[in-house]
Chain A
Amino acid sequence: MNSATDTVATVFHEEYGRAVSVVLRTTQDLGLAEEAVQEAFAVAAERWPSEGVPERPGGWIITTARRRAVDRFRREAARGGKEAEAALLRQSDDAPDVFGDDRLKLLFVCCHPALALQARIALALKVLGGLTTAQIASAFLVSESTVAQRISRAKAKIRDSRIPYRVPSGGELPARLAAVLAVVYLIYNEGYSADLGSQAGRAGLCSEAIRLSRTVAHLLPDEPECEGLLALMLLSESRLAARSGRRGALIPLAEQDRSLWDADLISEGLSLVRRCLRRGQLGPYQLQAAIQAVHSTAPSAASTDWHRILGLYDALTQLAPGPVVELNRAVALAEVDGPAVALAVVDHLELDNYHVFHAVRADLLRRLGRADEAAEEYADAARLAPSAGERAFLQARIRALGMS
């Protein structure tokens, strides 16, 4: 009995997005599609424990949900509902979700630039990730009603402003795809800083982002940036066990115990990097993944190929210029040309509110023997750092300065 109930929960998490996207073809309305799928899961929760789990649970859910939606339209059409009649006419379109096209359309709708960013994130996690409103709320440290409101407002906008369910084509695709990948990466980064804060309830976000990213990469095999983002996240995730020490304090890359890195994630990440780079359509995520790949293949921090990393940052600066990229490039520059050269670059950046800017500056000053200035910068960084793990690390650096 318990195992059937667990199965319902697992199938919900795994199949919810696919089911909604397929039923959406019948309902043409996201709210109605979700209702139908939720009803189907309610039936499953009631029947599976006694009747057994069907052979293809996901297919069962879709069939049941679609039947519910059609029944509802029949009832409404009998009462003269014009929309319901139109929906029944559309019904003949019964092809299964062979190419995942339905999910892709749904993903592009959830990440439409006309929706507020927070709403895109919540919608993607709920509709495609199969997370509950309560799970999303605890992941982003906001109230459940806030999440529910964001989602229902977004759904109303999709419906009333007629945001189309389609995969953008041609010239539109690059910008729209970038918006989708940005949402996925934001979810990952939110989970990453939660991990550093030892907030276990939020840690699921990283695996959600990776799962979404796998779906996107699978559905858009001709877009190497999708694989680039997946590789970037896998390589970052491979260091999860190595990047925090006692009481969750951050351990920087150079000081990590590389034997703790996850070899399977690294090997998957590296083969993705190689595969997407071979296409010769470079993009920001691929370059960032390539930079991580250089770190992942270095046997020790000292043997890191910083010339190669600097070259990749040069390419990234060309492709996606911005102060944050310049800052990261300066870290590589310090290894190649020394901290003084890097500091001159960093001093020109206007990133006063970004904790990493102060942390990088502090580190360069420390290496130049300017301990007092370094301590001030570490303190600024600690004040702005979003996670407890980063704050703990920065405060330890200040203490270490005092001792030297």
Chain B
Amino acid sequence: MTKVSITVDGVLHESEVEPRTLLVHYLREQIGKVGTVVGCDTSSCGACTILLDGRSAKSCSVLAVQADGSSVTTIEGLAGEEWHPVQAAFKECHGLQCGYCTPGMVMSAVDLLGENPNPTEAEIREGLEGNLCRCTGYHNIVKSVALAAQNMKGGK
């Protein structure tokens, strides 16, 4: 077992982990952050995407020990007093159906807009390439991200 200190959604967690533990399993099973989910085992689907020190990462592709000393934001810690504009836009545009890809999709979109606050439709689609959705056909996800970009202008 290895000791790790990871700040998750603003709270510092000191934990013992098996060195082989994936960050996503640490989040879900050790500290109960079950809002972040697992969708595949080939790092293809992006359902487990979180922000690792502010940048999006697939938490199935990071070992918990690699996140030692880092700060993780999950879907559960994204909203402050109000929802993040990306969350609000997903509801407004019906950018989710079953909602299983949604935590990862939202976190990827947050990172995408951090990098490119004014993306074209093609840039949104390319930016979300690592996140699979089986319900929406991406149409309303793309609309959601575009609306979030618009709403975030001048704000965040």
Asked if A and B bind, the verdict is: no
